A and B are shown apart, each in its own frame.
Chain A
Amino acid sequence: MPAGVSLRDFYYLLPELVLTGGALLVLIADVLLPRRSGHALAWITLLVLAATLASLGTFSGTHEVAHGLIAVDEFALFFKVVFLVSAAVTVLMSVRYLEIEGASPGEYYFLILCATLGMMILAGGIDLITIFIGLETMAVSFYILVGFIKPNQKSNEAAVKYFLLGAFSLGILLYGMSLLYGLSGTTNLRVMAPVFFGPETRHDPRLILAVMLVVAGVGFKIAAVPFHMWAPDVYEGAPTPVTAFLSVGSKAASFAMILRIFLEGLPAMVHDWQILFEALAIVTMTVGNLAALTQTNLKRMLAYSSIAHAGYILIGLVAGTPRGVSAMLIYLFIYTFMQLGAFTVIVLMRRRDVVGDELKDFSGLHFRHPYAAFAMLLFMLSLGGIPPTAGFMGKFWLFSAAIDAHYYWLAVIGVLNSAVSLYYYIRLVVFMYLKKDATGSEPSTTPALTVALAIAVVATIYIGIYPRVLFEIAEASARTLGVVGITAALP
């Protein structure tokens, strides 16, 4: 029986400890600082995120800490960087938004940091218990953040919907996890994997039921069709910066969880979950894009587009090769920046009397604020997958991974869907550049928003032109996952 937790564990959990301490610091600072010091709190939050990012660099290599509950490897590191950067951009977006809405910033930033903490635990979790606790920490923070603007009815409705469906999906996921535990006798994914390779468990109908339940549970989290019902309403009702964080951070964390559970824990069941995810990917891409075509609210449109993007990313999982996994990581990284950028422009449009998330608010934006319009143009092209933006590189890599693994149909459907998606991305561009009416709202910039926008623009262009660094890092990260085992199991 191993005793306690050693100092070594705390050393490898340093980033999580820094983040936890920082979150508590924000909570205390909120009480100590005078009222209306949202800027100071935002600075503290950014410093905490920067300190956490810096502490990620104190160690390297692959380790298992806390009795094999948490893995500290390059895969987790990759995701942690994504979470911290998207949290930082979210904070930059939030300062002005909170002032306009009159919401208390202390608890808001605390919850943002706690959601980030949950994501980081999730990315490192190689045990069902750690995964569940991390998922809950992230989800509970988001339930509250979504309903943070209390006077707003839509925000309340979104929070209740998200909470109910989230709790329900979590129940399904837990049921699947409990079956996995019952069948394997362990909660540790790496101990579980070889157990399921045994001849008698492999074709156990209970195991197949468990896999189906887990797929449904995680399907809710990444808003894959048919588990996507909550996404449009929640994305529309939530405060825009929270929507942005939800659509990138929560999604990336859920994909990290999916990769951990299925590639590390269930490589024996690859043929079963591959079929499920293949169906999910096709339906998710198609329904997401078709539903986005008719949306006039930009947040709803981006919600459906984000559903479609989840479908694209699933292609990498279906391929199941190391290349597919690295393509997923690359796409998630790129998606983070283009999605955050698009939401930053929507936040720019928010003024005291205008919500600014309708399509008509953007009409003629080019003539009022050419930089914002150009940034939005860039993000739309990137989301649609047009070169030389980063989105093209991401899609190219995903589809080529599918072709590599002989999933030609999946690649064809993906390309066709990208073509469909161009319609609604370009429609926004048409509104911004070709309509000259002055009914649209005036964007208002602040230094924080400009920095957020600049980060997103630079990343979108830089990765589009010079993707090699990201590709190399993503491939190294994918290699640390147990992908090698799965390739052996494939025909």
Chain B
Amino acid sequence: MGQAIAFYTLAAFILGFAVLVVSTKDTVHSVLFLVLDFLFVAALYVLLGAPFLAAIQVLVYAGGIVVLYLFVVMLVNLKRPPEAHQDPHRRTKLGFGLAVAVLLELGAIATYGMTRTGSPLVVPGTNGPLPGNTEQVGWLLYTSYLIPFEIASMLLLVAMIGAIVLAKREL
């Protein structure tokens, strides 16, 4: 029951943000709503018991791909409506807040790393499925799905060569 409530709440947020992505006039806002959307999808993965996928979702989509989007928005230089706010110190305040948040996060990570006394990731001598979500994904990729995994590397090579072909100057 609780899970169902959580799922429908998350799904409502995902759909709501998706609508906002396409309906908002400002391109930058649209991209930022997309980030929120991706984060809620990540939360959905956590709910499904796939924390590894959630982390990948945040890293690849909310991180990498959205940065790419922002670059495109910056490069094509779309006309933005004038700023509604008049506060001259707004940027300074915002920057200060963000800096403090990042520092706190770094501190938290550092203390967590110092105080942690866990076992090493791979238990030597085991050859069955390992405990933990990430380990299981890795195990599957290198056993049952090794061949598709290897073909995916060829796919990546093709994409790389393609990017070079399309981007390099005429020789």
- Which residues from chain A sit less than 8 Å from chain B, CB to CB? 1-5, 9, 13, 20, 23, 27, 65-67, 69-70, 104, 107, 110-111, 114, 117-118, 121, 127, 129-130, 133-134, 136-137, 140-141, 143-144, 147-148, 150-151
Q: Mark B150-171, 1 if CB is under 8 A from A, else 0.
A: 0110110111011011100011
Query: Does A137 lie within 8 Å of B154, measured CB to CB?
Result: yes
Query: Does A129 lie within 8 Å of B148, measured CB to CB?
Result: yes
Q: How far is the CA of A134 from the CA of B155 in the complex (A)?
A: 9
Instruction: Say how far B164's CB is from chain A's closest CB, in angstroms.
Output: 8
Query: Does A1 lie within 8 Å of B143, measured CB to CB?
Result: yes
With a CB–CB cut-off of 8 A, which chain A residues contact B166? 144, 147, 150
Instruction: Say how far A36's CB is from chain B's closest CB, in angstroms.
Output: 11
With a CB–CB cut-off of 8 A, which chain B residues contact A13? 147
Instruction: Say how far A126's CB is from chain B's closest CB, in angstroms.
Output: 12
Q: Mark B120-159, 1 if CB is under 8 A from A, else 0.
A: 0000000111000000000100111111100110110111
SS of B interface (majority): helix
Q: How far is the CA of A110 from the CA of B166 in the complex (A)?
A: 15
Q: How far is the CA of A114 from the CA of B153 in the complex (A)?
A: 12
Q: List 5 A-B contacts (CB under 8 A).
A: A5-B146, A70-B147, A137-B151, A141-B162, A144-B158
Instruction: Say how far B98's CB is from chain A's closest CB, in angstroms.
Output: 34
> Which of B145, B148, B159 has its CB near the most chain A CB atoms (within 10 A)?
B148
Q: List 5 extra interface pairs beyond A66-B146, A130-B148, A147-B166, CB under 8 A.
A: A1-B129, A1-B139, A4-B142, A5-B146, A69-B145
Q: What is the chain A residue whose CB lies nearest that of B155? A: A137
With a CB–CB cut-off of 8 A, which chain A residues contact B159? 140
Q: What is the chain B residue whose CB lies nearest that of A65? A: B147
Q: How far is the CA of A151 from the CA of B155 in the complex (A)?
A: 26
* Of the residues A2, A143, A150, contact of B143 by C-beta under 8 Å: A2
For the complex of A and B, 8 pairs with smallest distance between CB atoms: A144-B162, A66-B147, A67-B144, A5-B146, A137-B155, A114-B158, A133-B148, A133-B151
Instruction: Say how far B109's CB is from chain A's closest CB, in angstroms.
Output: 34
Interchain Cβ contacts within 8 Å, total number: 80
Query: Does A117 lie within 8 Å of B154, measured CB to CB?
Result: yes
- Which residues from chain B sit less than 8 Å from chain A, CB to CB? 127-129, 139, 142-148, 151-152, 154-155, 157-159, 161-162, 164-166, 170-171
Q: What is the chain B residue whose CB lies nearest that of A132? A: B148
Query: Does A143 lie within 8 Å of B147, measured CB to CB?
Result: no
Asked whether A134 and B144 contact (CB < 8 A) given A140-B159, A143-B162, the answer is no
Instruction: Say how far B137's CB is from chain A's closest CB, in angstroms.
Output: 13
Q: What is the chain B residue whose CB lies nearest that of A151? A: B170
Query: Does B146 lie within 8 Å of A140, measured CB to CB?
Result: no
With a CB–CB cut-off of 8 A, which chain A residues contact B129? 1
Query: Does A137 lie within 8 Å of B158, measured CB to CB?
Result: yes
Q: How far is the CA of A66 from the CA of B140 in the complex (A)?
A: 12
Instruction: Say how far B35's CB is from chain A's closest CB, in angstroms.
Output: 20
* Of the residues B143, B151, B154, contact of A4 by C-beta under 8 Å: B143
Asked whether A4 and B146 contact (CB < 8 A) given A137-B158, A141-B158, the answer is yes
Instruction: Say how far A234's CB is from chain B's closest CB, in angstroms.
Output: 16
Q: How far is the CA of A67 from the CA of B143 in the complex (A)?
A: 9
Q: What is the chain A residue whose CB lies nearest that of B163? A: A144
Instruction: Say how far B135's CB is from chain A's closest CB, in angstroms.
Output: 13
Query: Does B147 lie within 8 Å of A104, measured CB to CB?
Result: no
Q: How far is the CA of A107 from the CA of B166 in the complex (A)?
A: 11
Q: How far is the CA of A134 from the CA of B164 in the complex (A)?
A: 22
Query: Does A129 lie within 8 Å of B145, measured CB to CB?
Result: yes
Q: What is the chain A residue whose CB lies nearest that of B145? A: A129
Query: Does A136 lie within 8 Å of B144, measured CB to CB?
Result: no
Instruction: Say how far A282's CB is from chain B's closest CB, in angstroms.
Output: 36
Query: Does A134 lie within 8 Å of B143, measured CB to CB?
Result: no
With a CB–CB cut-off of 8 A, which chain A residues contact B127? 3
Instruction: Say how far A16's CB is from chain B's closest CB, in angstroms.
Output: 8
With a CB–CB cut-off of 8 A, which chain A residues contact B148? 69, 127, 129-130, 133
Query: Does B154 lie within 8 Å of A27, measured CB to CB?
Result: no
Q: How far is the CA of A20 from the CA of B151 in the complex (A)?
A: 9
Instruction: Say how far B18's CB is from chain A's closest CB, in angstroms.
Output: 14
Q: What is the chain B residue whose CB lies nearest that of A159? A: B166
Query: Does B165 lie within 8 Å of A107, measured CB to CB?
Result: yes
Q: How far is the CA of A150 from the CA of B171 in the complex (A)?
A: 12
With a CB–CB cut-off of 8 A, which chain A residues contact B146? 4-5, 66
With a CB–CB cut-off of 8 A, which chain A residues contact B162? 111, 140-141, 143-144
Q: How far is the CA of A2 from the CA of B158 in the complex (A)?
A: 30
Q: What is the chain A residue whose CB lies nearest that of B171? A: A104
Query: Does A144 lie within 8 Å of B147, measured CB to CB?
Result: no
With a CB–CB cut-off of 8 A, which chain A residues contact B145? 67, 69, 129
Q: How far is the CA of A67 from the CA of B142 in the complex (A)?
A: 12
Q: How far is the CA of A4 from the CA of B155 in the complex (A)?
A: 21
Instruction: Say how far A19's CB is from chain B's closest CB, in angstroms.
Output: 10
Q: What is the chain B residue whose CB lies nearest that of A66? A: B147
Q: How far is the CA of A121 from the CA of B149 in the complex (A)?
A: 13
Q: What is the chain B residue whose CB lies nearest that of A130? A: B148
Instruction: Say how far B79's CB is from chain A's closest CB, in angstroms.
Output: 24
Q: How far is the CA of A417 from the CA of B161 in the complex (A)?
A: 42
Query: Does A134 lie within 8 Å of B161, measured CB to CB?
Result: no
Q: How far is the CA of A111 from the CA of B166 in the complex (A)?
A: 13
With a CB–CB cut-off of 8 A, which chain A residues contact B143? 1-5, 67
Q: What is the chain A residue whose CB lies nearest that of B169? A: A150
With a CB–CB cut-off of 8 A, which chain B residues contact A121? 151
With a CB–CB cut-off of 8 A, which chain B residues contact A20? 154
Instruction: Say how far A112's CB is from chain B's closest CB, in angstroms.
Output: 11
Asked whether A107 and B151 contact (CB < 8 A) given A2-B144, A147-B166, A150-B170, the answer is no
Q: How far is the CA of A402 from the CA of B165 in the complex (A)?
A: 46
